[in-house]
């Protein structure tokens, strides 16, 4: 049936009628929604929605992450032929998943962006769906967190990153991808006792009380031990997962704004993400994919796989 479908399916992003199910559309053709899910602004009857946030005006080094959502969607067309390997269930067939498109905002009015993004995600959550956000630079996580906390209360934060993003900044109006965790902690958005950062390998004097599993510890102890430690820290708390693609070593993700050597391999990241199955995710994001600095699309491929893993983690506690 798959071979027959490959010859007749096209533009599933707009033509598919059933929001559930795999897709066998040619990877090199058609409209590139995330995982060939249907583009729609009507989330009634859906379980989870994916949205892009093409914003990179908060970076400290190389821009380009505004093109991340588009590249991740394109890379994701390689994945919807089969259930994700290693999970033992098929979230694409079990859940109704929508591609909600991108956030609309005025790029020349940067000061309006945080409220626009928070309202955008809040509107999605009002439809009682989970969310997966495709960034964009890492500042986008702060408005997204605010929307989730309005609905769910303070959350545990599971952060994969080369940088802690806890540099002190008490000016809440500043838009900076390196201070968003500091602000989230100071605003009480996250439960720091239940929060954890994985892959850190840059100096910051204050992690705001958040647990840290740095990159050398990942290499020394291995993915299974790291996943177990994450589960111990987060416990039963509702959690939000953010994955900065620079958590991966530049060998696996060169297309990012602030690359740092000594990072995780894609295999380590995959094993850790699958090892924390059972955490109670409200949603998550993958950020800082910068296609202008990518090579062969490998960073976008990594970002698309991370987004799929977040989708699987969200679905794991809700599957039949």
**Confidence at residue 2, expressed as pLDDT on a 0 to 100 scale:** 67
pLDDT band at 173 (very low <50, low <70, confident <90, very high): confident
Decide: 276 and 52 in contact? Cβ < 8 Å: no
Q: Is 176 annotated as a binding residue?
A: no
Instruction: Kindly report, residue by residue over 46-78, the tens digit of the pLDDT.
Output: 999 999 999 999 999 999 999 999 999 999 999
- Copy the structure tokens of residue 75: 């890379």
Q: Is 207 annotated as a binding residue?
A: no
Residues above pLDDT 90, as percent of the chain: 93
Q: What is the C-alpha separation between 316 and 113, in angstroms, rounded?
A: 32
Average pLDDT, the chain: 96
User: Over 60: is that where the pLDDT of 161 sits?
Assistant: yes
* Domains present along the chain, CATH in parentheses: 48-68+109-316 (3.40.800.10)
pLDDT band at 305 (very low <50, low <70, confident <90, very high): very high
- Copy the structure tokens of residue 217: 């510890």
User: Over 70: is that where the pLDDT of 3 sits?
Assistant: no
Instruction: Kindly report, residue by residue over 269-300, the tens digit of the pLDDT.
Output: 999 999 999 999 999 999 999 999 999 999 99
Q: What is the C-alpha separation between 100 and 103, in angstroms, rounded?
A: 9
pTM for this prediction:
0.97
Q: Is 148 annotated as a binding residue?
A: no
Q: Is 42 annotated as a binding residue?
A: no
- Copy the structure tokens of residue 67: 């093109």
Q: Is 246 annotated as a binding residue?
A: yes
* Torsion sign (Cα): 170, 165, 281, 284: positive
User: Over 60: is that where the pLDDT of 307 sits?
Assistant: yes
Q: Is 165 annotated as a binding residue?
A: yes
């Amino acid at each position: 049936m798959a071979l027959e479908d490959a010859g007749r399916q096209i533009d599933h992003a707009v033509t598919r009628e059933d929001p559930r199910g795999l897709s066998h559309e040619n990877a090199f053709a058609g409209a590139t929604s995330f995982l060939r899910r249907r583009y729609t602004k009507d989330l009634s009857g859906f379980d989870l929605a994916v949205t892009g946030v093409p914003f990179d005006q908060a970076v400290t080094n190389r821009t380009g992450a505004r093109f991340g959502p588009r590249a991740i969607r394109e890379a994701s067309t390689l994945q919807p032929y089969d259930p994700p390997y290693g999970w033992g269930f098929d979230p694409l067939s079990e859940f109704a998943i929508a591609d909600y498109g991108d956030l609309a905002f005025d790029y020349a009015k940067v000061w309006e962006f945080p409220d626009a993004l928070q309202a955008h995600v809040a509107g999605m959550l009002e439809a009682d769906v989970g969310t997966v956000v495709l960034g964009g630079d890492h500042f986008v996580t702060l408005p997204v967190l605010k929307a989730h906390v309005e609905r769910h209360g303070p959350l545990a934060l599971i952060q994969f990153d080369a940088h802690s993003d806890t540099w002190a900044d008490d000016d809440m109006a500043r838009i900076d991808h390196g201070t968003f965790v500091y602000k989230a902690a100071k605003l009480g958005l996250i439960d720091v006792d239940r929060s954890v950062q994985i892959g850190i390998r840059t100096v910051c004097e204050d992690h705001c009380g958040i647990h840290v599993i740095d990159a050398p510890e990942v290499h020394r102890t291995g993915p299974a031990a790291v996943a177990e430690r994450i589960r111990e820290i987060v416990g039963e708390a509702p959690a939000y997962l953010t994955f900065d693609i620079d958590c991966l070593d530049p060998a696996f993700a060169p297309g990012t704004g602030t690359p740092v050597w000594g990072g995780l391999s894609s295999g380590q990241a995959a094993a850790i993400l699958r090892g924390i199955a059972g955490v109670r995710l409200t949603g998550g994001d993958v950020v800082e994919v910068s296609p202008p600095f990518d090579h062969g699309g490998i960073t976008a491929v990594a970002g698309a796989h991370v987004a799929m893993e977040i989708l699987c983690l969200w679905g794991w506690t809700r599957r039949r």
